[in-house]
Amino acid sequence: MLIRGVAVTVLLLVVVLGCWGCVEGFATQDAISVDNSGGYVGLVVALSDTLNNTNCTQYIQNIKTMFSAASSLMFDATGSRVYFHTVTIAIPASWSCGEVISSDLLDYNWDTAHIRVGSSHTLFTDTPWTQQPGGCGDPADFIYFSENYILGNTNQLQQVNGGHTLLHEWAKFRWGVFEEYGHINDPFYPTTYHLNRTSFYPNYCTDNVLDGTYSGNCGEDGSELDCIFTPNLSSNNNNTNTATSSLMAAPFLDTVVKFCDNTTHDTTTPTKHNLLCDQLSSWQVIRQHPDITSASGSGQHLPIEVRAVRAKPPRHTVVLLIDYSSTMGEVYSRWEFLRDSLRQFFLTQAPVGFRTGVVIFDSTINISSDLYELDSITNQNSNRYDLANMIPESNPMLGGSTKNLKLAIEKGKEILRGSDGWLVLVTENMKEYTEGNQNLTGTAGETPVWPVLYPSDPKVSTQVYQNLAALSTTTSVIEITHQEDTVNIGNSPLTYQAVDNFASLTSSLRQATNTPDVEVSSGTCNSDLCTLALNVQNSSQFEAQFIIEVLHSHSVATTPITVAVTPPDAITTTLLTTGNCDSSTVFVASPLQNGIYTVNVENNALSLPVVARVLGVEKVGLVSVNVWSPRGLDQLSFSPGVAPRLLATVETSDGRRVVFADVTVVVQIDTITVTINLTDNGMNGDVTGNDGVYSGFLTVYKQDSEVDISVTATDNNGKARAVGPSVATLIQDYTPPLTDGEQGCCGSQLDLSGLTLVDLGPFTITSSGQHGRLTGTDPGDLPPGRVTDLRSDRLGYDVTLSFTAPGASLDQEIASHYEVRYEAPGEFYTTNITAQAVGTAVTTPAIHIPTCDVLFTFTVVAVDASSVSGKASNPVKESVSCTYKPDQQLSPGAIAGIVISCLFGLLLILIILCLCCNRDNLDDLWLWRMLTCRCCTKDDDYDNDDRLYSPPPRSNKQSDVIRNNVKTTTSPVTPIRSISDLYSRPDLEAKRTQRLKKEEQHQKQADNSDDGGFNDYERQNVKPVSTQRDTHSHNTNADKESTRSSLNSHSTHTTIPINEIGVPPLSQQRGMAQDNYAYERNNETNDYTRNTSGYNNHPPRRPPHPRQAPPRPPRNNTQV
C-alpha cells in the first residue's frame, strides 16, 4: 500500500506528576515560521493541568518577562535577523485566570506544545532541558521548564539570566546545535580537558577563559574525568569573568551575549557540539538554518506579543467531505472503494459516541446530513445505517463535472455549528485544483481541515491542500498515489483501481478521524482461490472485540466472491451484515485469540489481489510504542552521505518512560522490507543514552516512495524497566552549572542510578499504520558509523584504546577496519585495527607513544570495504613524561618463570630432606639408579649381581657420587665424563673391601669399649708384659678357662653362670643371635646392617635379607 504525505504529528500520552518528566510527545514545528519582519510566530507554550492554578497569573507574567528578554538577546546575537514576535500560552480549560486570558480558544494539547511548563522533572529536577534526539541541524522535540524555574523559586540567578537560558534551549530546539560545555562525571564530555600535558582547562567554548575553581585530581597524573571545574557564578556581580561567548557554553553569565563563531570557536574542547557538528562553531551551524538565511535582517525589533488562551479539550466531532465529481468514476472500482470505505467506517470502525456527519459534493452539494452520535455496532437499528445509506451506490456521472471545495468547506462548518471538531476532505488530485478567488484557508478559518487525496498523481501540485492542512498543527496532507490493477476478461484487459489503494484509503480514514483501531495482523493474496493466514500473537494487549476486514475488487462476473473466516479454535465466525459492500467484507467477532485466523476468498471468474487485516483496540494501561522522525515521517530526507533518523519511545499508560527495552522498526518500501534495530545507548546514532528515546538510521532509499512503518517493542528478556520517581531528594535550586551530585541534560549518558526502575514483566507491543515518504536525493555510499565512546588507558609509553564497534553503511554492516590516528603538533601517525561485529567491545593492541613530554590526541575512524571513511570519534589525550622510569615490574612471563623456579626449588629441597632422613636405608647406588631411571623399576639382574648390589652401609655415612666407584690402586676408576660413562656398570669390589675393613675396626672398638670395664677383649689379644700385675694374669687365665668350657663359640664358659652378662646364641649352626640392645651402642632400631657375606664365614643368602649381628662373647664376672 502506498501513502504519500502522511500526518506527522504523533500524539503520546498525557503525563502525570512525578513521571519521567510529563513530556511524552513530539511537537511538530511546522506551525512555527518567520514573518516578514524576522519575527517568530506560531510558537505555543502549554501549562500542565497538574500545576497549581492559583499561580496562573504569575506563570503568565513570568513567561512574558522571560520571552521579552530572550527576544532582545536573540535579535542581537543573530545580527538583527530574528526575534520572538508572537507567543501563545495555552492554559488548561478548567483554569480561571481572570482578565489575563483571552476569550479565544486554542486547539492545542499539552503533548503537542513546543514549550512545556510542568512539575519538577524526575531526573533533571528544575534544570531547563530540551529533548533533542536528532543530529546536528535537526529540530528537537520540545523544551521543558519546571514551575519552580518559571515562578523564580530557585534563586535570583534565573531572574537575571532567564532570557539567556531560554535562548540557549531555543537554539537546540529550533536550530539543532548542542551544548558547548562539559558534564560532571561524563567520560566523553568532561568539565575539564588537557590543552597541554601538565595543565587542565575548563571545557567551555568561550572567548576568554572562565574564572572558577578546580576540584578532584587535577595534578599531572590526573585525568580529565577526575578534574572538575566549577565557574565562579559571583562574577555576574564583580566582573571577574569577561567572556562574551558562547551562549551555548555559559548562558548563566550575563556577560555572554554571543554564539561562538569561527574566530572564537575552540575545536579542541571535547564538547557534545564539537563531536556531533564536526567541530563547526555554533554560529556556523545556526547561520545555515533556513530561518536565518531567509531573514532580511531589517534591523527592526517589533514588540513581542504574548497572549494567553484556554486550550480546547480533544475534538471528537468529524464531518466527512466526499468528492463525487466525475473524476471519481474514471477508473473501475475507484468510486466503489471510496463508497465501501465510508460504509465500513460508519458501520464497524467509528467508536460508540463518535459524532459525525457527511457532505457529498461536486460542483454543488448533492447530499448532506446533520451530526449523528453513533450508537452500538451490534444494534440492527443503529443510526450508523442511516449514514451508510447516504453514500451513493452508483459511480459519479461521467461528463466532466467539476468540484467546488469552497462550497463543501462552508457546508461542513455549518454542520459543525461551532462544536469542537474538524473536517476530513476526501478528494482526488489527478489534476490541479485552481482556487481562483475562493480563498479556501479564509473559508476554513480556525476549523482544521485534514485533506485525504485519493487518488493523487505525484506530478500534480498539492499546494492548495497543504495550505488547508497548515491551519492546524494536528493535521497534514495524506496523499495516496494512484495505482492500477489489470485483469483480462476474455481477450479484453480490464483496468481496476489498485486494491492497495483501497487498503491505504481505509487506513487513512482511520488516521484522519482519529479512530482507535490499529492493525494487529495482515496478509495479501493474488489468486482466484486465496487462503490467507493472519497470525495473532499478542491478543491480551487488545480489547476482546475485533474486526477482520477483507478488501478485494468489485466482481464483474456472475459468480459472486465468497469469503469465509476460521478462527484459531476452528469455530466459524459469524458474519456481521454491513450493508451492500461489494468490494469489502467485514467480520466483527469476540474475543480476540492468539493463533492463526484463516481467511478463504473464492473468486472463480477473476484473479484479483486480496488484502485481509485484523484490527483491534489497544487496552488502556499497557505499554505503548510510538515512532517519529525529527523532520516528520513525511519528510524522510536523504542527501549524499546522509540518511534520516527514526526515533521511538516506549511508555506506560501513566506516562512513564521505559528504558532497556528492545525496539525494532519495520519499513516497507514497495516490495522491500527493511528492519532496523533502534538503540538507546548513546552510540551508533543515538545522541543520548538512557533517555528513553531509541534511535536508528533508515539506509534504504527509493526516490519519492511512500512507506509503511510499524514499530515493535518487547521487554528485552525481562530487562526493560519503567522509570519511576527519584529516590533522591529533589534539588530545588537551579545553579548552572551543576555541582557534583546533580545532573543536567544531556551528556553522553543519563545516570539512572538514583531512580526507581520498575519491572514491567513480559510484554510485546506493536504499533502499525504509520506511513511516511522518502524525499531528497540518492545518498550514494553511506559512510560507516562513528565511535562516540572512545576511552584510553596508558601504561608508560603504551596506550590501549577501547570503544564500541561501529559498522559500515551507518552501522548496518561490519566495517573493513578501524583507523587509529594519533597526532601532536608536527607529528601524525596512524595504525589499522581489524573490524569487529557492530556493537561489540573493541580493545586495541598497545600503541606506543613516540615522543615524551608531548600531548597526543587519539581518534578512531571506521573504514568500509570501499575505503569510505566515517567521521572521527570523540578525542582522547595521552602523554608521558621524559622523566618516566618504568616500575620494576615483572612481565607475566617473568612472574611465571619465578613461580615455576620456586616450585622446582621447593621440590628439590623436599627431595633432599627426604633422602637425608632416609639415608640409612639407601644402598650405594641410589643416585646412579635415579639418574639412569632404575629407581622406579625392579631389575632382578642387577639386584642379584654381587658386583653391583650392596646393602645400605649403616656404619659408613660418607657420601659417594653417582656410581659410588672408588679409585684405588686395584680399581683405577675415573670420574664420569659422558652419558656412556653414566650408563656403564659400576664396580663395587674395592668399595666392599674398604667397608669390611672398617667394620672389623668398628667391631674391635665396640668390644673394647663395651665389656663392662674389664677390658676382657684386650687381655685376650694383647701379650702380657713383665710390668703387668698378678691380678691381670689371673683374669687372663680365668678367661681362657671359661672359653674352653663353653659350648658356644661366642661364649667363654661351658655353662653360663647366673651373673654372666650375655645372651645365649639363637643358632650355633648359623652363628645368629637375638638382638642385644645392651651391647649395641648407637642402635635404636631392629634393623641391622646387611652384608653380602655371611657371619663367621658362612655363605651369603641369595637373595640377601636383613641379618642380625651376633652378640659379643660374654665376660667373666670377676667381682664374685
Same domain, yes or no, for 451 and 359? yes
Give mean pLDDT, residues 573-578. Answer: 52
The better pLDDT of the pair 67, 1050 is held by 67
Structure-block grid coordinates of residue 546: 475485533
What are 923-936's pLDDT values in tens digits?
666 666 666 665 55
CATH number at 662 reads 2.60.40.10
CATH number at 568 reads 2.60.120.380
Round to whole Å and give the CA distance between 891 and 162.
59
Model pLDDT, residue 563: 87
Pick the last residue of a domain from 599, 619, 639: 619
Give mean pLDDT, residues 261-282. Answer: 94
The better pLDDT of the pair 108, 344 is held by 344
Same domain, yes or no, for 347 and 492? yes
Same domain, yes or no, for 960 and 1103? no
Same domain, yes or no, for 202 and 56? no
User: Residue 1010 — very low, low, confident or very high, per pLDDT cuts 50/70/90?
Assistant: low
The better pLDDT of the pair 236, 554 is held by 554
Question: Of the candidates 423, 417, 403, 421, which has an alpha carbon nearest to the alpha carbon of residue 469?
Answer: 423
Give mean pLDDT, residues 1060-1083. Answer: 44
Same domain, yes or no, for 502 and 392? yes
Same domain, yes or no, for 156 and 73? yes
Model pLDDT, residue 1011: 55
Structure-block grid coordinates of residue 239: 566582573
Same domain, yes or no, for 685 and 820? no
Model pLDDT, residue 730: 33
- 190: cis peptide before it, omega within 30°? no
Q: Does residue 1086 belong to any structural domain of this protein?
A: yes
Q: Does residue 355 belong to any structural domain of this protein?
A: yes
Pick the last residue of a domain from 980, 1009, 1038: 1009
Same domain, yes or no, for 593 and 659? no
Q: Does residue 186 belong to any structural domain of this protein?
A: no
Model pLDDT, residue 895: 86
Work out the percent of the chain whose per-residue pLDDT is above 90. Answer: 43
Long-range residue pairs from 362-367, CB within 8 A, at least 24 positions apart, any chain: 362/323, 362/324, 362/325, 362/326, 362/396, 362/401, 362/402, 362/403, 362/404, 363/325, 363/401, 363/402, 363/403, 363/404, 363/407, 364/404, 364/407, 365/407, 365/408, 365/411, 366/324, 366/392, 367/392
Structure-block grid coordinates of residue 809: 553503511
Which residues, in sequence order, are bridge partners of residue 308?
Answer: 89, 101
Q: Taken in order 189, 192, 193, 197, is the CA torsion positive or negative?
A: negative
- Does the pTM of the predicted model rise above 0.75? no
User: Residue 194 — very low, low, confident or very high, per pLDDT cuts 50/70/90?
Assistant: confident
Stretch (H or E) spanning 989 = helix 989-1009
Q: Does residue 1080 belong to any structural domain of this protein?
A: yes
CATH number at 458 reads 3.40.50.410
Q: Kindly tell me if the per-residue pLDDT of 285 is higher than 60.
A: yes
Pick the last residue of a domain from 515, 540, 574: 515
Round to whole Å and give the CA distance between 126 and 744.
10
Structure-block grid coordinates of residue 428: 482526488
Same domain, yes or no, for 593 and 706? no
Same domain, yes or no, for 805 and 761? no
What are 838-879's pLDDT values in tens digits?
999 999 999 999 999 999 999 999 999 999 999 999 999 999
Same domain, yes or no, for 996 and 1040? no
Round to whole Å and give the CA distance between 455 and 483.
8
Q: Does residue 181 belong to any structural domain of this protein?
A: no
Q: Does residue 69 belong to any structural domain of this protein?
A: yes
Structure-block grid coordinates of residue 1030: 698378678
CB atoms within 10 A of CB 184: 22
Q: Does residue 734 belong to any structural domain of this protein?
A: no
Q: Does residue 860 belong to any structural domain of this protein?
A: yes
Q: In the chain, how many domains are there?
A: 8
What is the span of the domain harbouring residue 663?
Answer: 621-723+745-780
CB atoms within 10 A of CB 86: 15
Same domain, yes or no, for 405 and 491? yes
